Structure 1
Amino acid sequence: MGSLKLYPKNLKGEVKIPPSKSMAHRALICAALGDSVSKITNIDLSDDIIATIDAMRSIGAIINNNSEYIEVKGINSKDLSLDRDYERVIDCNESGSTLRFLIPIALAFEGVTRFVGRGNLGKRPLNTYYEIFDAQKIEYKYKEDILDLVTSGQLKSGEFEVKGNISSQFITGLLFALPLLQGNSKIIITTELESKGYIDLTLSAMKDFGIKIINKDYKEFIIKGNQNYKSKDYRVEGDYSQGAFFLSADAIGADVNILDLKEDSLQGDKEVIDILTRMGVSIIKEEKHTKGKVQVLKSTLIDASQCPDIIPVLAVVAALSEGRTEIINAGRLRIKECDRLNAVTLELNKLGAKIEEKPEGLIIDGVKEFNGGVNVWSHKDHRIAMSLAIASIKCKEPIILEEYECVSKSYPHFFEDFKMLGGSFDEWSMGK
Structure 2
Amino acid sequence: MGSIKIYPNKLNGKVKIPPSKSMAHRAVICAALGDGISKISNIDFSDDIIATIEAMRALGAIINNISEDSIEVKGINSKDILSSREYERVIDCNESGSTLRFLVPIALAFEGVTRFVGKGNLGKRPLDTYYEMFDEQGINYTYKEDVLDLVTSGLLKSGEFRVKGNISSQFITGLMFSLPLLEGNSKIIITTELESKGYLDLTLSAIKDFGIEIVNNDYKEFVIRGNQKYKSQNYRVEGDYSQGAFFLSADALGSDVKVVDLKEDSLQGDREVVDILSRMGASIAKGEDGFVAKGNELNSTLIDAAQCPDIIPVLALVASLSKGRTEIINAERLRIKECDRLKAVKLELNKLGAKICEKEDGLVIDGIDELSGGIEVWSHKDHRIAMTLAIASTICKDPIIIKDYECVSKSYPHFFDDFKMLGGCFDEWNVGK
Task: Indicate whether the TM-score tops 0.5.
Answer: yes
One-letter amino acid matched to 2:376? N
Aligned to 2:48: 48
Secondary structure class of the residue paired with 1:75: coil
Aligned to 1:311: 312
Partner Cα separation in structure 2 for residue 427 and residue 72 of structure 1: 37
Partner Cα separation in structure 2 for residue 192 and residue 34 of structure 1: 33
One-letter amino acid matched to 1:37? I
Aligned to 2:175: 174
Displacement after TM superposition at 1:376 (Å):
0.2
Aligned to 1:30: 30
Aligned to 1:409: 410
Displacement after TM superposition at 1:397 (Å):
0.6
Partner Cα separation in structure 2 for residue 419 and residue 39 of structure 1: 31
Partner Cα separation in structure 1 for residue 70 and residue 363 of structure 2: 41
Does structure 1 residue 6 correspond to structure 2 residue 6? Answer: yes
One-letter amino acid matched to 2:203? T
How many equivalent residue pairs? 432
One-letter amino acid matched to 2:341? R
Residues 383-428 of structure 1 show CA distances to partners (whole Å, capped at 9, x for unaligned) of 0000000000110110000000000000000000000000010014
Aligned to 1:375: 376
Partner Cα separation in structure 1 for residue 200 and residue 258 of structure 2: 29
Displacement after TM superposition at 1:85 (Å):
6.4
One-letter amino acid matched to 2:27? A
1:225-244 matches, cutoff 5 A? 225-244=226-245
Partner Cα separation in structure 1 for residue 179 and residue 382 of structure 2: 32
Aligned to 1:245: 246
Aligned to 1:80: 81
Aligned to 1:161: 162
1:274-289 matches, cutoff 5 A? 274-289=275-290
Question: Contact 1:60–1:82 at 8 Å: present in 2 too?
Answer: no
State percent identity of aligned pairs.
78
Question: Contact 2:386–2:405 at 8 Å: present in 1 too?
Answer: yes
Displacement after TM superposition at 1:430 (Å):
6.2
Displacement after TM superposition at 1:431 (Å):
9.9
Aligned to 1:327: 328
Partner Cα separation in structure 1 for residue 155 and residue 85 of structure 2: 11
Aligned to 2:57: 57
Question: Contact 2:60–2:86 at 8 Å: present in 1 too?
Answer: no
Question: Contact 1:10–1:422 at 8 Å: present in 2 too?
Answer: yes
Question: Contact 1:85–1:109 at 8 Å: present in 2 too?
Answer: no
Does structure 1 residue 191 correspond to structure 2 residue 192? Answer: yes
Question: Contact 2:34–2:229 at 8 Å: present in 1 too?
Answer: yes
Partner Cα separation in structure 1 for residue 412 and residue 328 of structure 2: 25
Partner Cα separation in structure 2 for residue 295 and residue 98 of structure 1: 40
Secondary structure class of the residue paired with 1:283: strand
Partner Cα separation in structure 2 for residue 110 and residue 133 of structure 1: 15
Displacement after TM superposition at 1:66 (Å):
1.3
One-letter amino acid matched to 1:57? R
One-letter amino acid matched to 1:56? M
Partner Cα separation in structure 2 for residue 431 and residue 338 of structure 1: 22
One-letter amino acid matched to 1:355? I
Partner Cα separation in structure 2 for residue 429 and residue 346 of structure 1: 24
Aligned to 1:397: 398
Question: Contact 1:6–1:400 at 8 Å: present in 2 too?
Answer: yes
Displacement after TM superposition at 1:127 (Å):
0.2
Displacement after TM superposition at 1:32 (Å):
0.2
Question: Contact 1:35–1:77 at 8 Å: present in 2 too?
Answer: yes
Partner Cα separation in structure 1 for residue 205 and residue 259 of structure 2: 24
Partner Cα separation in structure 2 for residue 430 and residue 352 of structure 1: 27
Aligned to 2:423: 422
With structure 1 as the length reference, what TM-score do the two structures score? 0.99
Question: Contact 1:85–1:110 at 8 Å: present in 2 too?
Answer: no
One-letter amino acid matched to 1:189? I
Displacement after TM superposition at 1:366 (Å):
0.5
Partner Cα separation in structure 2 for residue 39 and residue 310 of structure 1: 30
Residues 184-204 of structure 1 show CA distances to partners (whole Å, capped at 9, x for unaligned) of 000000001000000000000
One-letter amino acid matched to 2:23? M
Secondary structure class of the residue paired with 1:355: strand
Displacement after TM superposition at 1:206 (Å):
0.2
Displacement after TM superposition at 1:69 (Å):
1.9
Partner Cα separation in structure 2 for residue 166 and residue 178 of structure 1: 20
Residues 116-175 of structure 1 show CA distances to partners (whole Å, capped at 9, x for unaligned) of 000000000000000000000100000000000000101000000000000000000000
Displacement after TM superposition at 1:382 (Å):
0.1
Question: Contact 1:209–1:230 at 8 Å: present in 2 too?
Answer: yes
Partner Cα separation in structure 2 for residue 431 and residue 222 of structure 1: 53
Secondary structure class of the residue paired with 1:250: helix
Aligned to 2:107: 106
Question: Contact 1:84–1:110 at 8 Å: present in 2 too?
Answer: no
Secondary structure class of the residue paired with 1:15: strand
Partner Cα separation in structure 1 for residue 145 and residue 84 of structure 2: 31
Q: Could you tell which deviates more after superposition, 402-411 or 78-87?
A: 78-87
Aligned to 1:93: 94
Aligned to 2:144: 143
Question: Contact 1:157–1:184 at 8 Å: present in 2 too?
Answer: yes
Secondary structure class of the residue paired with 2:174: helix
Partner Cα separation in structure 1 for residue 430 and residue 271 of structure 2: 38
Partner Cα separation in structure 2 for residue 356 and residue 258 of structure 1: 31
Partner Cα separation in structure 2 for residue 428 and residue 283 of structure 1: 36
Secondary structure class of the residue paired with 2:83: coil
Question: Contact 1:84–1:109 at 8 Å: present in 2 too?
Answer: no
Question: Contact 1:142–1:149 at 8 Å: present in 2 too?
Answer: yes
Aligned to 1:294: 295
The gaps in structure 2 that reach 5 residues or longer are none
Partner Cα separation in structure 2 for residue 358 and residue 88 of structure 1: 42
CA-atom RMSD in angstroms: 1.1
One-letter amino acid matched to 1:8? P
The gaps in structure 1 that reach 5 residues or longer are none
Distance 1:289 1:85, change over 3 A: closer
Partner Cα separation in structure 2 for residue 383 and residue 306 of structure 1: 17
One-letter amino acid matched to 1:80? I
Aligned to 2:21: 21
Distance 1:191 1:333, change over 3 A: same
Displacement after TM superposition at 1:342 (Å):
0.1
